[in-house]
Structure 1
Amino acid sequence: MNKYILTIVSVSFLMLSFFHTNKKSIVGLYGKCGKSYMACTQIDIKEDSTFEYYVFYDVGGASIKKGNWKVSKDTLILNTFNQPKFERGYHILDSSYSDIKEIYFLDRDSIPLHYNTVVINQTDSLFLDANGIAKYKLPINDVQIFGLNGQKNTFTIKTENYSKIVFFVDDFICHSQDYLTNEKLLIENNSLKPYYHCHNKFADKGLKKTSIKNKAF
């Protein structure tokens, strides 16, 4: 019995040691800015499970996102401290039945997505007006909204008992939002590969781990 308990304690200790070592191996600075750089991306993964995500463009200037990180298998997951007002999904504004459905499209900060293309029931294309609104006369089973870069959000409607409905859509402008929600980076060969939402894939080249002395911000 004592040997059994000792074995459990030993295995538990080894698992905790592995987790600590694995977590510590992730800590560090990723990405190196060249001399007189016009664009640069760096991620500082800190030991206290927080991060700083630095992006600089010569035209747009610099931004730094801060938040918490965690590891799931071979993936680093980032969440900024500040998060959008609404979760992705839809909300019925008026539950009274109507043949004509008035549909609103907003981003998760409640800003209208004007002049985007919407596909209803996989067949009918609509264009949103300046306020992110369109009208449709027929039952709506599913909705797809496309960004200018082809990025798509898809929703399935489970009821017909409404006359007005609002959809909260993920940001279409890749990597420009002020927040990160479950942002994934692939951990591979001592580097981090960002996920490109516009292309629905991880980057071919990652941000290589480098000395903290190379931190540019």
Structure 2
Amino acid sequence: MFTGLIEELGTVRSLRRGGECAVLTVQAERIFDDLKLGDSVAVNGVCLTVSALEQRVFSADVMHETLNRSSLGSLIPGSHVNLERAMSAGGRFGGHIVSGHIDGTGKLLRIRRDGNAVWYTVSAEPKILRYIVEKGSVAIDGISLTVASMGREDFSVSIIPHTAQETTLSERRVGDTVNLENDAIAKYVEKWMQPCRPAGTGITPAFLAESGF
């Protein structure tokens, strides 16, 4: 489990492809305090397992499914990536529940300044937007953010300068692809509701009345 609070920016050393998988190698600094083989690290929001470890450099295998669902396949040597180690049991929970299992990608539509804040508008598929609510949480490239506004085909977040400077958001440009992970709570609620609903129907006033609401 992660919190979406980025610990540092890493630099991609290489992305070596082989068949339907790849090996990603990243150089960093702060996360090596207690990093061990087999540990989990969120790289741009994608949970990866450390498979090799050298001084200030770690490698992780990236499976075919991960390459298809994320933007990791577009990384090149020199690319910066957001890094976060798995949350420790005694740590502060400053962001929100982030699993590192992204739901898909979105496209950066607009970037605009509003005083000292910066607004980022991201387009996404309906299967992702259905779980996003205004003032709810979303992880963009592993960064825990609050949804500031919603559109029919996109959503926006408003961030402070510190967040931009400490993450890859300061390097993002219109048209870039970003990894998205919905708030897990919304998906669990939907799953729990499904056995209670007649097949092929939604939640209607009649259904709520029959269920005692």
TM-score normalised by structure 2 residue count: 0.25
Higher helix share: 2
Give the number of the structure whose alpha-carbon radius of gyration is greater.
1
Higher strand share: 1
